[in-house]
Amino acid sequence: MPRIAVVGAGPAGTSFVLHALRAGVDPSDLVLLDRARFPRPKLCGGALTWRGTELIREIAPELVPHERARMETTHLRFRCDLGDFEVREGGGQWLYDRAHLDARLLELVRDAGVEVREGTAIKGVEAGTDSVQVRTRGTERFDWVVGADGARGVVARSVGLAPGIVGRLVEAVYEPTDADPNPRELIFDFDPIRDGIPGYAWIFPYPKPEVAGQANTGTHAGLYKLGIMDGRGVAAGEDLRAWTDAFAERNGYRRVDTKLAGWPEHYYSHRTRAHVPGVLLTGEAWGIDPLLGEGIAPSIEISRYAAGRLKEALDAGVRTIPRYEKTFRKTEPGQNLRFQERLADLLYGKSPDRWLKVLFSHRRMLELAAAGTEAYGRLEKHTWMLTRSYAWQLLTGNL
Ligand SMILES: Cc1cc2nc3c(=O)[nH]c(=O)nc-3n(C[C@H](O)[C@H](O)[C@H](O)COP(=O)(O)OP(=O)(O)OC[C@H]3O[C@@H](n4cnc5c(N)ncnc54)[C@H](O)[C@@H]3O)c2cc1C
């Protein structure tokens, strides 16, 4: 009988299982449940940062070089009416069709001998003193339940773990009409801030699996995903849709999808609780990068941590993980998410125009962006250097 139910087979759920197995959990102790049948659609730009690709390589080395529904880019481009600059990481970024990426990861879970139940919606979870009851069509008891059920997770809600900030995003597939896009770059456009929307718009190449000849060429100027992230969830969905279509037209794109679809994002906060006895959260159910909404890589990083902590609890025969959230905050991924949280609070907070100006003129930050040695979202280690150089620039009147 499985002792641990993992709810949600997105990157958080599958990577949790794969990391748990690596930590020594027996496959027969795990069951992975998802309400969807795979491959299932997931609204997502599908962009994986350089660190994200490394994280996938760690759990699924065979997947990175062979996945057919993907493309590679060389850099990110941040832009707004103040100017633009390239962000070069220590390696390239990968673009995936999420339906395919998630289905491939799920295959690996199945191949490892773990029971997978698709088409199984969890309606609620009740944490008791010595087991957790999971409601589907009937009920089933487990020693542990792992909530990897994403932005609208039922697990967190059922056990009273309140969410942090929830953003609102819309996205669709477009094709260039007057645009001459560079399929090797990911565009992050911060102009929405000028229109009172705390977020950015994106233009990402889209490696649609069924477009013949597109996969792996990396040069196909075919389809693109355009969308907008409202990082505070303050704008109405219809305003975000209108903004995105106008943005697309300005940039020379025509919508291919019949409509712009919307989905929320749940952001990491150092205050969010993610554990009660017998239940823990991972991935977006706990929270992702609040600055740009990078979700795939942080979900895998959180799951690596969560799987290790659960294994410790199983070995100790306990149902409470001491300092689950606090200890994560001290890990490198936890510190980086906290750093992103601080940046998001500034850029999407009370003085967005001021911090947008800082982002586009902070000399040291621009040097790091150009260096090609760093990774997006992993700059916490440079906090003091960045703060010092910011203060110096302020004092010398250059900001
Ligand atoms: C428009 C948009 C664009 C994005 N672009 C990017 C991007 O380019 N790069 C990036 O890194 N991130 C991006 N993200 C964020 C990223 O998609 C998520 O953060 C990531 O998928 C989180 O992984 P997860 O496994 O935690 O959750 P999910 O991928 O959401 O998986 C959760 C799973 O749980 C299942 N589930 C939910 N409820 C239940 C239930 N009650 N019972 C059973 N199963 C359930 C769902 O079916 C789903 O399969 C984007 C998000 C949006 C909305």
Residue 72: predicted pLDDT? 85
Q: Is 232 within 8 Å of 165 (Cβ atoms)?
A: yes
Check the CA dihedral 155-157-163-169 and report its sign: positive
pLDDT of res. 389: 84
Evaluate: CB of 154 within 6 angstroms of ligand 1. yes
Percent of the chain with pLDDT over 70: 94
- The reported pLDDT for the residue numbered 214 is 45
Q: pLDDT at position 65, please? A: 60
CB–CB of 211/143 below 8 Å? Answer: no
| pLDDT confidence of residue 212 | 41
The preferred substitution site among 170, 296, 299, 300 for testing ligand 1, maximizing ligand atoms within 8 Å of CB, is: 296
Our answer on whether the CB atom of 295 is closer than 6 Å to any ligand 1 atom is yes
| CB distance 9 to ligand 1 below 6 Å | yes
CB atoms within 10 A of CB 178: 10
Instruction: Decide whether any atom of ligand 1 lies within 6 Å of the 199 Cβ.
Output: no
Domain 166-265 is in which class?
alpha beta
| Nearest atom, ligand 1, residue 288 CA | 19
Fold of 4-68+98-164+267-339: FAD/NAD(P)-binding domain (3.50.50)
- Measured from the Cα of 11, ligand 1's closest atom is 25
- How large is the C-alpha radius of gyration of the chain? 21
CATH topology identical between 4-68+98-164+267-339 and 166-265? no
Q: Are 254 and 248 in contact (CB under 8 A)?
A: yes
- Kindly report the pTM of this predicted structure: 0.95
Beta bridge partners of 374: 89
CA 284 / ligand 1 centre spacing (Å) = 7
10-residue stretch averages of pLDDT, the chain, 399 residues long: 91 98 97 97 93 92 67 92 95 89 95 98 95 95 98 96 95 94 95 97 87 43 91 97 98 96 97 97 98 97 98 96 98 97 96 93 91 92 88 79
33 lines ligand 1 (CB under 6 A): yes
Residue 215: predicted pLDDT: 45
What integer pLDDT is reported at residue 42 of this predicted model? 94
Cα(149) to ligand 1 centroid in Å equals 8
Q: Closest ligand 1 atom, CA of 170?
A: 1
Determine how β-strand 166-176 pairs with β-strand 224-230: antiparallel
Q: Is the CB of 299 under 6 A from ligand 1?
A: yes
* SS3 of residue 89 by DSSP: strand
Per-domain boundaries in the chain: 4-68+98-164+267-339, 166-265
Contact partners, residue 74, CB within 8 Å, separation at least 6 = 88, 92, 93, 184, 185
Please work out whether the CB of residue 43 comes within 6 Å of at least one atom of ligand 1: yes
DSSP 8-state secondary structure symbol assigned to residue 272:
-
